[in-house]
Structure 1
Amino acid sequence: MARKSFLFTSESVSEGHPDKVCDRISDEVVDAFYREGQKEGLDPWSIRAACETMTTTNRVIIAGESRGPRDVTVAAIEAITRNAIKDIGYEQDGFHWANCNIEVLLHSQSSDIAQGVDAKQPTNQEEGAGDQGIMFGYACNETPELMPAPIYYAHKILFDLAAARKGKVGDAAKLGPDSKSQVTVRYEDGKPVGVTQIVVSHQHIDEELSSRQVREIVEPYVHKALPEGWIGKDTIWHINPTGKFFIGGPDGDTGLTGRKIIVDTYGGAAPHGGGAFSGKDPTKVDRSAAYAARYLAKNVVASGIADRCTIQLAYAIGVAKPLSIYVDTHGTGKVDEAVIEAALGNVMDLTPRGIRAHLDLNKPIYARTSAYGHFGRPADKDGGFSWERTDLAPKIAKAVG
């Protein structure tokens, strides 16, 4: 039997965290391939990008495999990278958008991989998965966006602080791009009811700011982000608990693409298949099938047939159809899980091509996902975060009814 009263903690990191800087750059490259490919009249189904980034003191290294438009040159990627770093806000001696050293090492996609992924008649009847692996999706009714409360509010705190910092709102202009948050939520009778501990470590560009002064800047945003009544007199605060946080970002710690996979997903409240998202085009099921699993789980909960839902999908490289579909409603389901599993395979084509078509993923929509979570964000009018729609809920309800 599941526990009803407990504490659960999740963390978030900002767009200026070293690993998130790398995620942003990698996703900007993916977006560039789709954006420039459209201008050149390329078939978006043929574009391939797998981009990894490493950052350290005043240095960025970009490597990976690609296939796409001619205009995404080394010079173009360097310009894209500088613009991304500038937008994040790095203008410090040890990491500055204008003068950091950028090395681009992208090369053509392996023909061995391409032959298993591309749809080529008569050998490959349809597009195969870009890799093997397992992907998980999750949803629950704890928040308006059907996300677990701890990660949802950990993200919101940093998102709101970043907006204030970049908008130069009051003393938030004294903050730097690098920050982390952690929220410990208290559950009673299985429902989130309050916060027992709050952690915010935030870089500051005024070197003389004390932890107390940083707390004075940060605290109002924390109160605004959390539901009313969740912070009480017994809530414990840890704001810049080590003291000064002046040196931040890649100058303070090396960054790599794909190292914040729990931050990107459900904050540890659900399983993770292990594959990162950023820097990958949607033929890589690490990304697209994880989006599909979230989409299905969210629509299961939105349909009212369960309060919580975990979905696992499994794929083999070069094989189109998923090897398995698994559903767990954690004892909250109104319908047998086997019935839901059968229904999901009927209401959505879960081949890589089917996912890309259904969610309209062949677009430059990925840089915006690189910080503050790939899930729990409103769907955008241009197709971004399409996996957050709940338009499939009526079909699911009808299919299992």
Structure 2
Amino acid sequence: MFLSESVTEGHPDKLCDQISDAIVDRFLQHDPLARIRAECAAACSIVYIAARFASPAMVDITHLARQVIDQVGYRDSTFSSRTCSIITSIQEEPQNATQRFDENSLDDAELNRITAQDQAAVFGFACRQTAAFLPLPIWLAHRLARRLSAVRFQKLLPYLAPDGKTQVGIEFRERRPYRIHSITLLTSHHGSAPVPDKLAADLRETVIAPVFQDELLRPDERTRIYINPNGPVLDGGPALHAGLTGRKTAVDTYGEYSRNSGNALSGKDPLRIDRIGTYAARYAAKNLVAGGLADECEVQLSYTIGLAAPASVQVETFGTGRLDDEDLARLVQEVFDFRPAAILRRFNLRRLPQALPGGFYRKLAAYGQIGRMDMGLPWERTDLAPALRHMTNS
């Protein structure tokens, strides 16, 4: 049995992630070479934002935060984009000329001079359980959370409030999904609580049934379905429980089915190796699986301060690899370039916020930063799978 959870964009932790990444987006839209780190906390009717930046760009952080809160849907008396207090601690740092470079113009020797500024062990994972190469529990939990949010925005259930959580439990046999053990939906609501039986019937009809309509594995007569099992949740959000940037790392990645570094992904510019290294490790793992070299694959990259390439690259295929894990690790190092500036260049990470309407990183901040099939993420491409397959067969 394995369970994974997801949350809607109105969950306080995810609200903080979105504010932090909206700040990153806005700086990079004005200045792709900006260095920015932003963290957010929210509780009751107070939002606290701490940001450090090195850039000639200036961003109205308070106004941007209110925009995000409003777009998520917080407009009632308990927590409102218009009336919440926003406290900021903003520090401008000197611009470092060595970090203001155009990675697209660097040669190999110059790429080596752009080193990791932090130490980090990051992980990437892929498997064949879903079309997105994600474990099935987190894939289904994300789908339910997105549908719960869509039902609210479309006003199919007008009493729903922004804060929500989903959880899916899957029974596995021989590391393969066998049946759906349980489904849990926690949702907040406005006004008087709906009758529990009515709420359950509404969510089964508008959320659960549409999500599982096209899934190969569906709830059966023994699947346990829990809807607000602890009772009604009035309004929810920061008025009920606090939020903090980076507290949903498992939701952002693999739902704890595979390891993650534990470091926050949101609120960091694309020179932070713990963020972009996670994307690069996922890219390698997914291409190995897509290339038929393993059914499950975890790639670990260990970075140390002052070096460009990771000090260690490890591959674990859980007994499903077509080659020994050590041979796959050597193959990965031959095919993939994990140096920070090389990752920036391959994924175009500093210029994506300018290229996409409404920004880029904020869209990543809810419903997972891995396995997204709605954004054309560069680290979700499988363009190197044919080359890996050919090198293995030759």
Fold match (TM-score > 0.5): yes
Q: 1:139: Cα distance to partner?
A: 0.4
Residue 3 of structure 1: aligned partner: none
Q: What is the rounded CA distance, in whole Å, between the counterparts of 1:244 and 1:181 in structure 2?
A: 15
* Pick aligned residue for 2:39 from 42, 52, 55: 52
Task: Report the 3-state secondary structure (helix = DSSP H, G, I; strand = E; otherwise coil) of the residue aligned with 1:207.
Answer: coil
State which drifts further: 176-185 or 338-347. Answer: 338-347
Residue 145 of structure 2: aligned partner: 158
Name stretches of at least 5 consecutive residues in structure 2 with no aligned partner.
Answer: 354-359
CA contact (8 A) 2:37 2:51 kept: yes
Residue 178 of structure 1: aligned partner: 163
CA contact (8 A) 1:142 1:191 kept: yes
* Pick aligned residue for 1:304 from 250, 269, 292: 292
Give the counterpart letter for 2:386 in structure 1: P
* Pick aligned residue for 1:196 from 171, 181, 189: 181
1:117-266 equivalences under 5 Å are 126-168=113-155, 170-171=156-157, 173-220=158-205, 221-226=207-212, 227-228=215-216, 230-266=218-254
Give the counterpart letter for 1:233 in structure 2: E
Residue 4 of structure 1: aligned partner: none
State which drifts further: 385-394 or 292-301. Answer: 385-394
Name stretches of at least 5 consecutive residues in structure 1 with no aligned partner.
Answer: 1-6, 38-43
Q: 1:348: Cα distance to partner?
A: 2.1
* Pick aligned residue for 1:386 from 378, 381, 386: 378
Q: Specify whether residues 251 and 296 from structure 1 end up closer, same or farther in structure 2 by C-alpha distance, changes over 3 A only.
A: same
CA contact (8 A) 1:211 1:241 kept: no
Q: 1:372: Cα distance to partner?
A: 0.9
Give the counterpart letter for 1:108 in structure 2: E
- Superposed CA offset, 1:73-132 (max 9, x none): xxx212211111111111121210111111221212478xx6996779999962121311
Q: 1:250: Cα distance to partner?
A: 0.7
* Pick aligned residue for 2:262 from 258, 270, 274: 274
Q: 1:228: Cα distance to partner?
A: 4.9
Residue 312 of structure 2: aligned partner: 324
CA contact (8 A) 1:133 1:273 kept: yes
Task: Report the 3-state secondary structure (helix = DSSP H, G, I; strand = E; otherwise coil) of the residue aligned with 2:4.
Answer: strand
Task: Report the 3-state secondary structure (helix = DSSP H, G, I; strand = E; otherwise coil) of the residue aligned with 1:180.
Answer: strand
Q: Specify whether residues 391 and 123 from structure 1 end up closer, same or farther in structure 2 by C-alpha distance, changes over 3 A only.
A: closer
Residue 66 of structure 2: aligned partner: 82
State which drifts further: 304-313 or 343-352. Answer: 343-352
Matched, 1:374 2:372: no
Q: Specify whether residues 242 and 128 from structure 1 end up closer, same or farther in structure 2 by C-alpha distance, changes over 3 A only.
A: same
What TM-score, normalized to structure 2?
A: 0.91
Q: 1:356: Cα distance to partner?
A: 0.9
Q: 1:223: Cα distance to partner?
A: 2.5
Give the counterpart letter for 2:208 in structure 1: V
Q: What is the rounded CA distance, in whole Å, between the counterparts of 2:14 and 2:373 in structure 1?
A: 20
- Superposed CA offset, 1:333-385 (max 9, x none): 1122222212222222111101111111113221011111111112635xxx2
Paired residues in the alignment total 378
Q: 1:311: Cα distance to partner?
A: 0.5
- Superposition RMSD in Å: 2.2
What TM-score, normalized to structure 1?
A: 0.89
